[in-house]
Amino acid sequence: MSRVLTIGAAQLGAIQRSHSRADVVARMVALMREAARNGCDLVAFPELALTTFFPRWFMEDQAEIDSFFEREMPSNETAPLFTTARELGLAFTLGYAELTEEEGRTRRFNTQILVGKDGRIVAKYRKIHLPGHAEHEPWRAFQHLEKRYFEVGNLSWPVVRAGADLHSGLFGQMICNDRRWPESYRVMGLQGVEMILLGYNTPVHNPPAPDHDRLGDFHNHLVMQAGAYQNASWVIGVAKCGVEEGCEMIGGSCIIAPTGEIVAQAVTREDELVVARCDLDLGRSYRNSTFNFARHREPAQYRMIVERKGAVLPD
């Protein structure tokens, strides 16, 4: 039986600080309706999809900082996403800033959830690779204070088996900077992931390394295509992009097959739905041959290197 899902990568254009959550949710609902018209089973939204990318500013007033966070999910403002998705028979992923009480204290994470077609939260991921810096660095044209505003995620990279309405697919999630690190994909590859869903907010300009700017779009696709191929998984990468509060962010939302090929990609830096039919079994031939981990990987050798036993390591 074919396990083909129609996936919508719902890229968002810029969200300005003045845009309310209601404004943004309305844009996202419109993308959900377009996805339903295109026969989608699942819609993927970007990282921190409900607000402008606030880590670009140095803030000290905790109430101001927390105004960018969600204390509950769904909330009154985000409920329309859940009711619309259920009405349309859509699963979806959503990136947002999570504020929660856990282990007796207030915790703040850069979070993404997978919501099933029945509106239930199936999986949650909290961003592990937090780029940027923790203190104000006035020399920068804009800040990147994720290390200040978020804790490192504490849920690892779980792979979950979805229900029959998503062909019992094995789904995993990551967020933005995670996609640049091979470990993010491999931890899920070792769990047999069939589709990785990720959102990103990536400035064109990287202040510590301006000479890298010209390669931003290339590196974006490079890392996701490599991760897909090397772990025999679909990778869905969804941008929030355009010029937000004067800061230009890359687009390039795309749907990548386990072959490593980009099968569909965005052509604007606006709200744009990118759609493709994704056969969850397409990675099987890679997992049974080139990337048959049981037959070809040598973890003992890796451990030897990691534990510095008998390996020649660059000093």
Residues identified as active-site: 47, 127, 176
In what helix (H) or strand (E) does residue 273 lie, and over which residues does it extend?
strand 272-279
Contact set for ligand ING, span 41-70 (CB under 6 A) = none
Structure tokens at 50: 């409900």
Are 79 and 104 in contact by the 8 Å Cβ rule? The answer is no
Binding mask 194-223 for ligand ING (x = CB under 6 A): ------xxxx--x-----------------
Residue 25 CB, nearest approach to ligand ING (Å): 21
Range 115-174, binding ligand ING (CB under 6 A): 131
Contact status, residue 44 vs residue 238, Cβ threshold 8 Å: yes
How far, in Å, are 159, 227, 277 from residue 102 at the CA level? Answer: 22, 32, 39
Q: Check residue 177 for interaction with ligand ING (CB under 6 A).
A: yes
CA dist 312 and 315 (Å) reads 9
Query: 59 or 170: whose CB is closer to ligand ING?
Result: 59
Q: Is 11 in the site for ligand ING (CB under 6 A)?
A: no
Decide: 166 and 154 in contact? Cβ < 8 Å: no
Taking alpha carbons only, the member of 196, 149, 143 closest to residue 7 is 196
Query: From the centroid of its chain, how far is CA 136?
Result: 26
For the CB of residue 198, give the shortest distance to ligand ING in the complex, in Å. 10
Shortest distance, position 281 Cβ to ligand ING, whole Å: 30
CB 203 to ligand ING: min, Å: 6
In the list 28, 114, 176, 197, the residue contacting ligand ING (rule: CB under 6 A) is: 176
Name, in order, each residue with C-beta under 8 angstroms of 262's C-beta and a sequence gap of 6 or more: 221, 225, 254, 255, 256
Tokens standing for residue 88: 């349309």
Half-sphere exposure of 85 (CA within 13 A, CB side): 27
What tokens appear for 81 in the block? 């996403």
Nearer to ligand ING, 181 or 293 (CB): 181
Least gap, CB of 168 to ligand ING (angstroms) = 31
Provide the binding-site residues for ligand ING, judged by CB under 6 A. Answer: 131, 176-177, 180, 200-203, 206
